[in-house]
Chain A
């Protein structure tokens, strides 16, 4: 091949590579532009009102005279529904991930995966519609009984398990022949306490009147379900990545499946599970439609703060809701404060993303030594 031709070839290859790089760099450019434009339109707000009021005051009257921009209640609202969705999604998600990676046989696993994919594919506005039109009236009319049923379903098995573990620990130091009877007596006593406690609590719950079905509880449950697919798939990948050899090593020493999971596999893939939780949380924090439609949109801090049955307002719903009116008056505090809120959201999502990336990379290195 002649020199000229080969040089031409190399030149074309270089141009091609440059062209591809440029195309790829679009994502870099986009991220920079997003940061730039959100910050650019958020700064005027901070110049106008300073950062203090936004984060410490609960008086949110952007169209009032004079306007007030206290977003504390909104921040608390976002935090509350995020917490609620974690409480729903993490136990369910990790238990389901364990089922998929270690417990279900192959054929069942293949049937469950489409269910997860469908849950992930349903548009958020459909979830929001469900939350508003079907779930909210249900909570309002029958909320008390629903909560009571949920209480029994969750607390009874967990309570029994707890009793089991406690009696085991308590009677370990007693002589073997007496231990069994002592254990049974202790268990019976604790079980009676448990059942009576649950009965009292559920009686109180059934008489509970939920004033409004669109509240933090509604949104937390729906957001939790939306976060499930993310948590399950990342956690399951993590559990699988621990590998067959670790599991075999543990089983060969006479460990049960639960012991293998809790003492070897989950510690080995722990960081992956944490990354899964962070990613799921990110999904919940950034969700707009569900909270806009079903959180009640009341900018107030519930009293007490953990009262999920009160309406709340989140950052995303505020931005979506207020922008319609604010757009009319460009340059106003109303317009820019929404960008300030968006900046908060953006920074949170960056932080969470970086954290989960770092954790995932660390896990790969930790297990890499074994591979």
Chain B
């Protein structure tokens, strides 16, 4: 079944609604592998990302966590020579099935990048960009969507009087929150975050982490981070990847206090990575 572009849009105030299959905002991979040319970056990972919870993917650099994340919204399609095997399921449907519409997929799955990348447009137009593409042209609707998204991203108070200013005039932390607002404005179900605070100072980092706590419960959040303490602070579940393979996965509290695998423990205690 092709993902319909006519999904019922939840009201911006209320919680998300279940779709036809009864699964809500749910991502899972089964025996999923990712290759570029002959290089296998993700090796047979089977993983479940619980709905409306925060799952962190940790591991040393080069272990494939970003690649796995970017496979979920098919951003890796932009890389030449990319192939996959296994299944990556969003609400029960394999997103690598040929009949799937990538444009709609990316609307339902939002992404925040490592380095804030606001468009060289006004703050308002940045946030409104995605929504304008997909459905709304009505200025009143856009205004209220932009306002709500900026509220949700915790940026409204700081920019409410200067929505027409160029987005590049904001500080790094503000730009990142702007990018989060931009992603939220299209009303996704999943939010992917690829090391969202690694380019930010500690204060901005703390703000983003608070934000993640607020967004939890409304969106399924999957966050890749090389900072273990951050994973411990913000996530409910943690997956540890090493050299493309899933080593261990479970509740964050358990992983950080009583890891089952030796490799996990070695990574935690800093013996490598």
- The short answer to whether A and B are in direct contact, CB under 8 Å, is yes
Interfacial residues, chain A to chain B (CB-CB below 8 A): 105-106, 245-256, 259, 263-264, 267-268, 366-367, 369-370
Extra inter-chain contacts (17) besides given A251-B106, A253-B133, CB under 8 Å: A105-B80, A106-B80, A245-B113, A246-B120, A249-B113, A249-B118, A249-B179, A250-B119, A253-B129, A253-B182, A254-B105, A254-B134, A255-B103, A255-B129, A259-B133, A369-B120, A370-B118
17 interchain pairs (CB within 8 A)?
Answer: A245-B113, A246-B119, A247-B78, A248-B75, A249-B113, A249-B117, A251-B75, A252-B73, A252-B75, A252-B110, A253-B107, A253-B182, A254-B104, A254-B106, A254-B133, A255-B130, A369-B166
A267→B121 contact, CB < 8 A: yes
Distance A259 CA – B129 CA, assembled complex (angstroms): 11
Q: Given that A249-B113, A252-B73 are contacting pairs, would A264 and B119 also be in contact in the complex, using a CB cutoff of 8 Å?
A: yes
* Residues in A whose Cβ lies below 8 Å from that of B129: 250, 253, 255, 263-264
Residue in B107, B117, B169 whose CB lies within 8 Å of A254: B107
* Residues in B whose Cβ lies below 8 Å from that of A369: 120, 166, 168-169
B78→A254 contact, CB < 8 A: no
Distance A251 CA – B77 CA, assembled complex (angstroms): 11
Per-residue A-contact encoding for B68-100, CB less than 8 Å = 1, 0 else: 000001010010100000000000000000000
Distance A254 CA – B134 CA, assembled complex (angstroms): 8
B115→A253 contact, CB < 8 A: no
Distance A309 CA – B212 CA, assembled complex (angstroms): 67
Q: Given that A105-B80, A248-B78, A369-B168 are contacting pairs, would A253 and B183 also be in contact in the complex, using a CB cutoff of 8 Å?
A: yes
Distance A294 CA – B169 CA, assembled complex (angstroms): 53
Distance A256 CA – B104 CA, assembled complex (angstroms): 10
A121 to chain B, nearest CB (A): 30
A249 to chain B, nearest CB (A): 4
Most chain A CB inside 10 Å of its own CB: which residue of B73, B104, B119, B186: B119
Q: CB of B146 within 8 A of chain A?
A: no
Distance A175 CA – B15 CA, assembled complex (angstroms): 29
Q: CB of B150 within 8 A of chain A?
A: no
B183→A252 contact, CB < 8 A: yes
B117 to chain A, nearest CB (A): 4
Residue in A106, A259, A268 whose CB lies within 8 Å of B119: A268
A363 to chain B, nearest CB (A): 10
A370→B117 contact, CB < 8 A: yes
A55 to chain B, nearest CB (A): 42
Q: A264: nearest residue on chain B (CB-CB)?
A: B119
B120→A268 contact, CB < 8 A: yes
Distance A263 CA – B133 CA, assembled complex (angstroms): 10
B156 to chain A, nearest CB (A): 20
B130→A253 contact, CB < 8 A: yes
B2 to chain A, nearest CB (A): 15
* Residues in A whose Cβ lies below 8 Å from that of B179: 249
A245→B133 contact, CB < 8 A: no
Q: A245: nearest residue on chain B (CB-CB)?
A: B117
Distance A264 CA – B130 CA, assembled complex (angstroms): 11
Distance A259 CA – B106 CA, assembled complex (angstroms): 14
B115 to chain A, nearest CB (A): 6
Q: A247: nearest residue on chain B (CB-CB)?
A: B78
Residue in B110, B120, B166, B168 whose CB lies within 8 Å of A253: B110
* Residues in A whose Cβ lies below 8 Å from that of B221: none
Residue in B78, B104, B121, B169 whose CB lies within 8 Å of A251: B78
* Residues in B whose Cβ lies below 8 Å from that of A267: 120-121
* Residues in A whose Cβ lies below 8 Å from that of B133: 253-255, 259, 263
Distance A246 CA – B166 CA, assembled complex (angstroms): 15
* Residues in A whose Cβ lies below 8 Å from that of B166: 369
Q: Given that A105-B80, A249-B179, A263-B129 are contacting pairs, would A254 and B186 also be in contact in the complex, using a CB cutoff of 8 Å?
A: yes
Q: B78: nearest residue on chain A (CB-CB)?
A: A251
B52 to chain A, nearest CB (A): 21
Q: CB of B111 within 8 A of chain A?
A: yes
Distance A147 CA – B78 CA, assembled complex (angstroms): 40
Most chain B CB inside 10 Å of its own CB: which residue of A105, A245, A254, A259: A254
Residue in A106, A248, A259 whose CB lies within 8 Å of B117: A248
* Residues in A whose Cβ lies below 8 Å from that of B110: 252-253
* Residues in A whose Cβ lies below 8 Å from that of B120: 246, 267-268, 366-367, 369-370
B266 to chain A, nearest CB (A): 34
Q: A244: nearest residue on chain B (CB-CB)?
A: B78
* Residues in B whose Cβ lies below 8 Å from that of A247: 78
B73 to chain A, nearest CB (A): 6
Distance A267 CA – B106 CA, assembled complex (angstroms): 23
Distance A233 CA – B183 CA, assembled complex (angstroms): 34
Q: A253: nearest residue on chain B (CB-CB)?
A: B130
Distance A254 CA – B118 CA, assembled complex (angstroms): 15
Distance A370 CA – B105 CA, assembled complex (angstroms): 28
* Residues in B whose Cβ lies below 8 Å from that of A250: 119, 129
B186→A253 contact, CB < 8 A: yes
Distance A370 CA – B118 CA, assembled complex (angstroms): 8
Q: A269: nearest residue on chain B (CB-CB)?
A: B120
* Residues in B whose Cβ lies below 8 Å from that of A366: 120
Distance A255 CA – B130 CA, assembled complex (angstroms): 7
Distance A263 CA – B121 CA, assembled complex (angstroms): 10
Distance A220 CA – B202 CA, assembled complex (angstroms): 60
* Residues in A whose Cβ lies below 8 Å from that of B182: 249, 253
Distance A370 CA – B113 CA, assembled complex (angstroms): 14
* Residues in B whose Cβ lies below 8 Å from that of A246: 117, 119-120
Q: A242: nearest residue on chain B (CB-CB)?
A: B120
Distance A367 CA – B115 CA, assembled complex (angstroms): 15
A99 to chain B, nearest CB (A): 16
Q: A105: nearest residue on chain B (CB-CB)?
A: B80
Per-residue A-contact encoding for B167-190, CB less than 8 Å = 1, 0 else: 011000000000100110010000
Most chain B CB inside 10 Å of its own CB: which residue of A106, A250, A251, A253: A253
Distance A267 CA – B120 CA, assembled complex (angstroms): 8
Distance A33 CA – B169 CA, assembled complex (angstroms): 45
Distance A186 CA – B107 CA, assembled complex (angstroms): 31
